[in-house]
Chains A and B, each alone.
Chain A
Amino acid sequence: MSTPIPMPSLSPTMKEGKIIKWLKKVGDKVSSGEAIAEVETDKSNLEIEAYDDGVLLEIVVGEGEMAQVGAPIAHIGAKGEKVQAGKAAAPAPSAPKAEAPKAEAPKAEAPKAAAPAPAPAAAPAAGGGEGIAIPMPSLSPTMKEGKIVKWLKKEGDKVSSGEPIAEVETDKSNLEIEAYDDGTLSKIVVGEGQVATVGAPIAYIAGKAGKAAPAPAPSAPKAEAPKAAAPAPAPSAPKAEAPKAAAPAGGRVRASPLAKRMARDRGLDLSALQGSGPLGRVVKRDIEAALAKGPPAAQKPAKAPAAAARAGVRPEPQSVPISSMRRVIAQRMTEVKPGVPHFYLTVDVEMDAAMKIREEAKALESKVSVNDIIVKAAAIALRRYPKINVSLQGDHILQYATADVGIAVALEEGLITPIIRDADQKGLAAISAESRELAERARKRALKPDEYTGGSLTVSNLGMYGIDQFVAVINPPQASILAVGSVADKAVVRDGQIVARKILTVTLSCDHRVIDGAIGAEYLREFKTLLEHPMRLLF
């Protein structure tokens, strides 16, 4: 019997993963423990291993595609075996795979189904017995419908990929539509002078064999069409956009009016969502879940910048697929700000003494950053003020017994906060080495989940960007975060004299549900004292 390989959960916050690369292809032998694919999670890139021996029968989720945790990404089994569980319709991997899920799910037009599988898949939605539907392409961002000015081919004509078949008038201009498949123009649905909504089929192309789509070639144009960015419509693109325009044509997506409005307002592709309502109806909660995750990766921009440039039009802004990491950050930050009542405490710290430590360390050829000293001071202060070393966990408060400090590391795609465990007990050199090593691996997205989860407080430092001071958003389940600015020479009054001092401004954001102002203030006072008298870091 074939066994599905589910998308594994590789981090506590992981809800879905993107297949970066398949390390095996259909038909390959795999053995238990062998890496079969590379997956991008919200935090890092990891390899997925096979749990069983067998032959890779089918790849369900192609490279660059997303899958929910637990969803099957491939099937393995004995050689020549058929894939179980509804995939039976696909006897061999080369069979028109797109058809199989369509038959079983109401989510017929979901791009997942139509997305390119590594094996040659059948090209876009087949139009009943007529062949492959040619949808009205979206030729401008504002285009909702197009008028067929002229058919350049008639029914029964042979067409080849890339050949213009019709002239379309959009809201902006007249353009030619090209075929992206070889075959025969089997039926014209929208006549000359008639208007069709974006995504609605305007004609059908029958494959060489007659009715069904030709299997061998189409995988290539299909995969490449969006990339080519030619005026030729990418087959999947208009399909994905049709529901956005709320067009009843093309694939009908069941969605509540509210869900449709929300999707329209947020630019979400309804057809990419799995509805949780009756008959797969997309409802508010599905939209909210999708918004939390961000738009689906399958929604590739299908703009035609090259064509636009040729026509002398200013380039359109490009929509960039959101990374898994950014998606999770967006979701969590949205939850945190209204969900966790923040309050902020700001204090100026005189850093002259602490800065001397750096110089002394330098003399010892040991690299210690201001941040390392801050991490150490933050950790010791945590030890001394355990009331701030807490986290609200639903109906109880977790009181941590260790002083684990997170350090915010900015990556291109977002922020990650590796944890320096027991930072209060480590020397500055150790903290320095560890934080550099963690940051390095964070940038390579090679951190293990236990290296960035837990911790009671995060230090977020924007001093290196010349930021004087800022307030940071708490990274739950932590209850506080320390926003650290730059150390700058400032004029301060000491003993009635204006003198220059190296001043650092830090702002502590606290979760007011568990930390009160006085607790935060005491903690911050201790933190300040430790830095102003760094000798105390030793005691």
Chain B
Amino acid sequence: MAELMYREALNQALAEEMERDANVFLIGEEVGRYNGAFKVSLGLLDRFGSARIIDAPISELGFAGLGVGAAMVGLRPVVEMMTWNFAILAMDQIVNNAAKLRHMSGGQLRCPIVFRGPGGAGGRLSSQHSQALEANYAHFPGLKVIAPATPADAKGMLKSAIRDENPVIMFEGERLYAIKGEVPEGEHVVPIGKADVKREGKDVSIITWSRMYYFCEEAAKQLEQEGISVEILDLRTLRPLDEEAILATVRKTNRVVIVEEGWALAGVGASVVDIIQSKAFDDLDAPVVRVTGLDVNMSYAANLENATQPDAPKIIDAVKKVLYREGA
């Protein structure tokens, strides 16, 4: 299996799907001649031409709408947002049109579109460019929301997203693009809606997704040295949530920490807690603990930026708290 960067895995998925289906095209700012702001579309313009790799002007609402229209008439657009922070401009197209077309048309229209791009903190990009906005999109019926953590999942889930008959929102994690991992070649499809136990454990479950998964792994390794066995459930899909997997891990360990880059209030983790308390209440041995981004706008200063986000020490503290261990 080839070891690829996250961005290379996405590139592979895009290329394979465009190869497979002539209706698939990519549109976004700088996706063509510049090969993508984060080089996800590297080489695709040369390979597929400007009719399918389309450089859009700075006009998120416009090209998102173009994508929705194209999907309505049978194409399969992939709309790249330079970051999800900018996609806020396109909210109306995504939320009011893409998410609802099937419903508004009484099932006569479909909207097989993928909106994708990086989310979360980048690294000293301050408050307008560092937001983990998954929860916003997970809120809307009609959308599917995915946020893979590993290159292999990134490839497999993008392929699933492109093939999906419904609009899919894909969060990629700005800091994940250079992360390397083994990626199966060719037809590697990861289903949407299935979480993944990335690490088996018995004392406590950490439920997380996207970039936070790596902090959780780091924490789990340290905790293991203290004799604490951590299970990590990578949700991968935030809408629909994989209830079965969530409940299974709760029933296994009875104690849960949820790690989320975004803010706590109305976060995805809050919905995970709701599932747990309503369907596995009798399996809980301690209140669920959440580790989230602090309830502030992201700082520019590097030290403050780090302090704002979850990290391994915070996760370790949370695990000890949920285990009622000393020092928490």
Q: Is A259 an interface residue (CB 8 A)?
A: yes
Known: A277-B286, A283-B286, A284-B254. Contact between A257 and B281, CB under 8 A? yes
In the complex, given contacts A256-B284, A258-B285, A259-B285, what are 16 additional A-B residue pairs having Cβ atoms less than 8 angstroms apart? A256-B254, A256-B286, A257-B281, A257-B283, A257-B284, A258-B254, A258-B282, A258-B283, A258-B284, A261-B282, A261-B283, A276-B324, A277-B286, A283-B285, A283-B324, A284-B254
Question: Whole-angstrom distance between the alpha carbons of A84 and B285 in the complex?
Answer: 35
Which secondary structure characterizes the binding site on chain B?
Answer: loop
B285 neighbours in A (Cβ, 8 Å): 256-259, 283-284
Q: Is A312 an interface residue (CB 8 A)?
A: no
A-B contact pairs, 21 of them (CB 8 A): A256-B254, A256-B284, A256-B285, A256-B286, A257-B281, A257-B284, A257-B285, A258-B254, A258-B282, A258-B284, A258-B285, A259-B285, A260-B282, A261-B282, A261-B283, A277-B286, A277-B324, A278-B324, A283-B286, A284-B254, A284-B285
B324 neighbours in A (Cβ, 8 Å): 276-278, 283
B283 neighbours in A (Cβ, 8 Å): 257-258, 261
| Residue ranges of A at the interface with B (Cβ–Cβ < 8 Å) | 256-261, 276-278, 283-284
Q: Mark B263-294, 1 if CB is under 8 A from A, else 0.
A: 00000000000000000011111100000000
Which secondary structure characterizes the binding site on chain A?
Answer: helix
Question: Whole-angstrom distance between the alpha carbons of A261 and B285 in the complex?
Answer: 10
The interface size bin for chain B is under 10
A275's nearest neighbour on chain B, judged by CB, is B324
Question: Whole-angstrom distance between the alpha carbons of A258 and B286 in the complex?
Answer: 8
Question: Whole-angstrom distance between the alpha carbons of A376 and B292 in the complex?
Answer: 68
B282 neighbours in A (Cβ, 8 Å): 257-258, 260-261
Question: Whole-angstrom distance between the alpha carbons of A256 and B286 in the complex?
Answer: 6
B254 neighbours in A (Cβ, 8 Å): 256, 258, 284
Question: Whole-angstrom distance between the alpha carbons of A130 and B253 in the complex?
Answer: 45
Question: Whole-angstrom distance between the alpha carbons of A258 and B285 in the complex?
Answer: 5
Question: Whole-angstrom distance between the alpha carbons of A256 and B324 in the complex?
Answer: 12
B284's nearest neighbour on chain A, judged by CB, is A257
Minimum CB–CB distance for A281 against chain B, Å: 8
B284 neighbours in A (Cβ, 8 Å): 256-258
Question: Whole-angstrom distance between the alpha carbons of A259 and B285 in the complex?
Answer: 7
Question: Whole-angstrom distance between the alpha carbons of A284 and B203 in the complex?
Answer: 11
Minimum CB–CB distance for B27 against chain A, Å: 50
Minimum CB–CB distance for A262 against chain B, Å: 9
Minimum CB–CB distance for B166 against chain A, Å: 36
A257 neighbours in B (Cβ, 8 Å): 281-285
A258 neighbours in B (Cβ, 8 Å): 254, 282-285
A261 neighbours in B (Cβ, 8 Å): 282-283
Minimum CB–CB distance for A183 against chain B, Å: 41
